[in-house]
Structure formats: C-alpha cells, structure tokens
A and B are shown apart, each in its own frame.
Chain A
C-alpha cells in the first residue's frame, strides 16, 4: 500500500516552498532557522 507520505517529515500543506528548508533526503525534519545559511550583513559575522 506504499507509505503514508505525510510521515516523512515534510510539511506538505505548507503555503511556503519546501525546498529552501529541505534538510535532505535522509532527514526527517526540515532545516531550522539556525541551520539555513543567510546573507546577513558582514558586520554580523563576528566569529
């Protein structure tokens, strides 16, 4: 009967696109805000 595709960790009803936070084919959670690289002002890169 296949798989319940709602259980693969993707928010299929999301109004937003999924690919910007797609965490990869083996991850069962989308990327969190701290996982996604962002083009922050260079001054924020404080290291």
Chain B
C-alpha cells in the first residue's frame, strides 16, 4: 500500500545498510560472519525493523531503492575508472544480497520452509517492482547493472552447498523462475540482455533442468524460453537483423545448443510450444529444437539404403508432447465439428468452412492463426494414427489415404493460398523429428500429399518447405532427412520429372548433390 513510511525509517534503513556493508567487508571467515550476523539481527530488532511484516517490507523496499540510487550515482560519477565503478557497485549489492540470503536462510524455525520462501518471494517481488518502475521512469537511461547483480548473486548465494538451502532448492528455483517470467523481455525490454544471462547462467540451468527431481523444473524453464521466443519473434521475422537483435539471437542459439547437448529430452518434450512462437522463417533455430532426440536412442543413418522406417521399434511409440495444444483448437463448436467429421466424415460442409476458421485477416504475411494451424495438424495426425492402430495396422503411405484425416489434409493443401499452405506444410514438417510414431505418420502424409497433388504448385511448395530446412547449416532433424531422401529416391513420386527440379542450374545442382549423398 502507498501510505507513507513511518517517520525515521529511511534514516534507520540507511544507517543499518551502511553498518552491514562495513561488517560484510571485514568478516571473511564463516565463523566470524555468523557471529556478526547474529548481532546485526539484534540491531535490526532494536530498530524495530523486524517487528511487523509491513515494516520488513518497507525496510527492504527502502534498502533496495537506496542501493539502486547508489548505483546510478556511482555510474554517473566520472571520477572512477570503469573497473572501479563496477567493483564499488558490486561491493554494495553483494553485501545487501548476502544479508538477504542470511535472513532467508535463518528466518523461521529450522523445519519450516514457508517463512523462508515467503521472505524470498517478498524480496524478489520488491526488486521486480522497483525495476519495472525504474525502467518506466528512466526509459533509455535505465541501467540493468544493479538488478542483474542483485538477482544473480542472490541466486548464487542461495545455491551454495547447505543442507537447509538444498532442501528448499525447488521452492527457491520456482521463486526465481516466476520472478524472471514476470521480468520477461516483453515486459522489461531494457533488461533483456541481463535477463537472458540470468536464465542461462550455468548454475541456474544446472538447478532447474538437472538437479530438481522428476524434471519438475522443466515446465518452468519452458515458460522462460517461450518468453524469450515471444520477445524475439517480431524482430526475427525479417531476414536482416539489427545489431542489438543479432546479439540476442546469437545468445539464444548458444543457449539452445547447450540445451541440445545436455538436455535434448527437454527440447523433445516442449518442441511443440516452441514451434508455435518461433517465426516460420527462423529455420535454423527451429531445426536445433527439431533435431533433438533422446540420448538413449541410436538414430539409424538416414542414408542407409532401403531403410525400413516402419520396421523401427521407436516408430510405434508416440513422442511426449508437453504442450496442451488441443486447447488451441478454438472455438469450441469448431472442435466439435472437427471431431464429428473425423468420426463420420460429416458434416460435408466442414471441409469447405475449414479455411475460414484458420484465416484471421487479409493482411499478407499474417493472414493465418499459426497456433491453431499447428494444433489442428497435430490433432488430426494423432487421431489418424490412433484410428489406423485401432485396426491393428501400422501407418504407411498406402493405408493413410481415403480417410477423414487425409480429406482434411488434402483439402488444406488444395484450398489454402500460398501463405496458408506454407504454414500448413510447416506444421507437418515440424513433426519430422527423431524416430517416433508422429515422425513416421507425418512423413508418410507429406509424401502422400506430394504423390496425390492435383497441381504441380503443391508439389513445388512441398519441395520448397523441405528444401529450405535442408540447405541451412546443421543440425538437420532425422525425420526431415529420411523424408526428403524417400522423395527423391522413390520413383513413384517421379520427383526428377518435375520442371521445378530443373528451374535453375544451381537448384538442379543442389538436388543432384543431395541425391549423390543419398545414393
């Protein structure tokens, strides 16, 4: 609440903070520090700071504001050299953070984590609030430095090997994840570079993705990555990236590569939600996510002659999809009509109305509801797989035809315009990943659409969608490779007969080079 701080609180806060900073600088052994901390808490008590929850909140708000004001004062003081400036700032922030960490660690009874976590959330919320207000007020002169230092050092202080803190790890990581989510770059663009540093710090990644049991930190981290992609998306939609965007984009690639290398299963499980927000033209960044496969899986060489994908054991298993994509199929009556069409191929009008549900504007480049398109394609595909399996068959290019599911896909291929069909084919290509039942089904589906296409335009566009994913630098998803190889090798697709294969010398050469590496 905004009612005034009690008189004298500011002076007390400043005095206590300065006192603590000098204590912090002297005590460099653990024992001396604990003794000092004990007497300092008594001093806080004596000043009445710890008397009520409200006073504690006001103290932290005052102390944070004091530190931030000090940061700006030191930054504007030209007498210091840059290295000194940061050392001075960090000296204050680190001391303040250490006090908070000790208060969190020692507050409440030993066995009662609630008091500790409540205090942590309170402090994080206070700093978050001051940061957002500060960014609003200062605009382009906002400095991320003090806040960056605060959040990072507080997380490191609460991540030290300590039995009490270890037992709180999940709650501590959750508190920071929620704070970082509220601090996402769309809300705090002035803090975006520090933000990506914070969420990708080696200790934070280690905690949230590896050390919290049963992968309970994964949904939290997936949310943070979604925040990052949401922020970058509008700036990545155009091929030329401004320098500030380029730095963020390159940083994102580094983070994704660390995740691909250390936690591929995480990318596998959350790929669907990420593909909803990554712009369709970010081919390579999306490929990093789609190329992930479980570490215990051995991928057969895609160039193996006569590779029988449907004979692979993994093809029978559905991949884990940790996105509640079905809820994207809106509105409710559309979902009802969809289900009834899948069940009984009625109402027949369903197909002719399909595009009207997907198209949301006439603005070129943003005509379609991409999350709905992606969800529709995956939903129809999973229903098709279940339907085929219910007849004890394995999906193949022969038994996926002449079904309500394929009616929908063929209708989309024919009825949509170039932009819409591009997004539709992308939705399919986004399922071409490591060996699993979705990869196999959608590989058959896209090949079937190619074979049954009633115009060459569709065949060309299918080729373009696959090709643009193959000509970028590695990595390339396994499912994409085996689909393209099948397309150019299997004579039933008459791939080489099409004019567009020879439309330009470099394109012909490209196909031949890919063909050579396949044969």
When the two chains form their complex, are residues B473 and A4 in contact, meaning their CB atoms are under 8 A apart?
A: yes
User: Which one of B160, B201, B253, B283 contacts A5 once the chains associate, using CB atoms below 8 Å?
Assistant: B253
Q: Which residues of B contact A37 (CB under 8 A)?
A: 156
Complex interface residues of chain A between 26 and 47 (CB less than 8 A to chain B) = 26, 31, 36-37, 39, 42, 45, 47
Q: Which residues of A contact B252 (CB under 8 A)?
A: 25
When the two chains form their complex, are residues A19 and B262 in contact, meaning their CB atoms are under 8 A apart?
A: yes
A10 CB, nearest partner CB in chain B, Å: 5
When the two chains form their complex, are residues B206 and A19 in contact, meaning their CB atoms are under 8 A apart?
A: yes
Known: A22-B200, A22-B202. A3 touches B284 (CB 8 A): yes
User: Which one of B30, B160, B196, B284 contacts A25 once the chains associate, using CB atoms below 8 Å?
Assistant: B196
- Of all chain A residues, the one with the shortest Cβ separation from B257 is A10
When the two chains form their complex, are residues B254 and A19 in contact, meaning their CB atoms are under 8 A apart?
A: no
When the two chains form their complex, are residues B201 and A18 in contact, meaning their CB atoms are under 8 A apart?
A: no
When the two chains form their complex, are residues B251 and A25 in contact, meaning their CB atoms are under 8 A apart?
A: yes
With an 8 A cutoff between CB atoms, is B472 at the interface? Answer: yes
Q: How far is the CA of A19 from the CA of B160 in the complex (A)?
A: 17
When the two chains form their complex, are residues A8 and B261 in contact, meaning their CB atoms are under 8 A apart?
A: no
Q: Which residues of B contact A17 (CB under 8 A)?
A: 210, 261-262
User: Which one of A2, A31, A39 contacts B283 once the chains associate, using CB atoms below 8 Å?
Assistant: A2
User: Which one of B30, B161, B258, B473 contacts A1 once the chains associate, using CB atoms below 8 Å?
Assistant: B473
With an 8 A cutoff between CB atoms, is B474 at the interface? Answer: yes
Size of the chain A interface, CB-CB below 8 angstroms: 27
When the two chains form their complex, are residues A8 and B202 in contact, meaning their CB atoms are under 8 A apart?
A: no
A9 CB, nearest partner CB in chain B, Å: 8
When the two chains form their complex, are residues B247 and A26 in contact, meaning their CB atoms are under 8 A apart?
A: yes
When the two chains form their complex, are residues B261 and A10 in contact, meaning their CB atoms are under 8 A apart?
A: yes
Known: A2-B284, A25-B255. A20 touches B261 (CB 8 A): no
With an 8 A cutoff between CB atoms, is B294 at the interface? Answer: no
Q: How far is the CA of A25 from the CA of B202 in the complex (A)?
A: 10
With an 8 A cutoff between CB atoms, is B326 at the interface? Answer: no
Q: Which residues of A contact B156 (CB under 8 A)?
A: 37
Q: How far is the CA of A23 from the CA of B258 in the complex (A)?
A: 11
With an 8 A cutoff between CB atoms, is B205 at the interface? Answer: yes
Complex interface residues of chain B between 150 and 199 (CB less than 8 A to chain A) = 156, 160-161, 193, 196-197
When the two chains form their complex, are residues A25 and B206 in contact, meaning their CB atoms are under 8 A apart?
A: no
Q: Which of A1, A2, A17, A20 has the most CB of B within 10 A?
A: A2
Q: How far is the CA of A25 from the CA of B250 in the complex (A)?
A: 7
- Of all chain B residues, the one with the shortest Cβ separation from A24 is B197
Q: How far is the CA of A42 from the CA of B250 in the complex (A)?
A: 39
A47 CB, nearest partner CB in chain B, Å: 5
Q: How far is the CA of A38 from the CA of B262 in the complex (A)?
A: 20
When the two chains form their complex, are residues B257 and A25 in contact, meaning their CB atoms are under 8 A apart?
A: no
Q: How far is the CA of A9 from the CA of B258 in the complex (A)?
A: 11
Q: How far is the CA of A36 from the CA of B203 in the complex (A)?
A: 10
When the two chains form their complex, are residues A10 and B284 in contact, meaning their CB atoms are under 8 A apart?
A: no
Q: How far is the CA of A14 from the CA of B440 in the complex (A)?
A: 30
Q: How far is the CA of A35 from the CA of B189 in the complex (A)?
A: 29
- Of all chain B residues, the one with the shortest Cβ separation from A47 is B28
Known: A18-B262, A39-B161. A5 touches B475 (CB 8 A): yes
Q: How far is the CA of A21 from the CA of B255 in the complex (A)?
A: 12
Complex interface residues of chain B between 227 and 249 (CB less than 8 A to chain A) = 247
Q: How far is the CA of A47 from the CA of B33 in the complex (A)?
A: 14
When the two chains form their complex, are residues A8 and B250 in contact, meaning their CB atoms are under 8 A apart?
A: yes
- Of all chain A residues, the one with the shortest Cβ separation from B473 is A2
Q: Which residues of B contact A9 (CB under 8 A)?
A: 254
Chain B positions within 8 Å of A, measured between CB atoms, are 28-30, 156, 160-161, 193, 196-197, 200-202, 205-206, 209-210, 247, 250-255, 257-258, 261-262, 283-285, 287-288, 471-475
Chain A positions within 8 Å of B, measured between CB atoms, are 1-5, 8-10, 12, 14, 17-26, 31, 36-37, 39, 42, 45, 47
6 closest residue pairs by CB, A with B: A25-B251, A2-B284, A2-B472, A2-B473, A19-B205, A17-B262
Query: What are 17 residue pairs bridging A and B, where the CB atoms are less than 8 Å apart in the complex?
Result: A1-B471, A1-B472, A2-B285, A5-B284, A5-B475, A9-B254, A10-B261, A18-B262, A19-B206, A22-B205, A22-B254, A25-B196, A25-B254, A26-B193, A26-B197, A26-B251, A42-B30
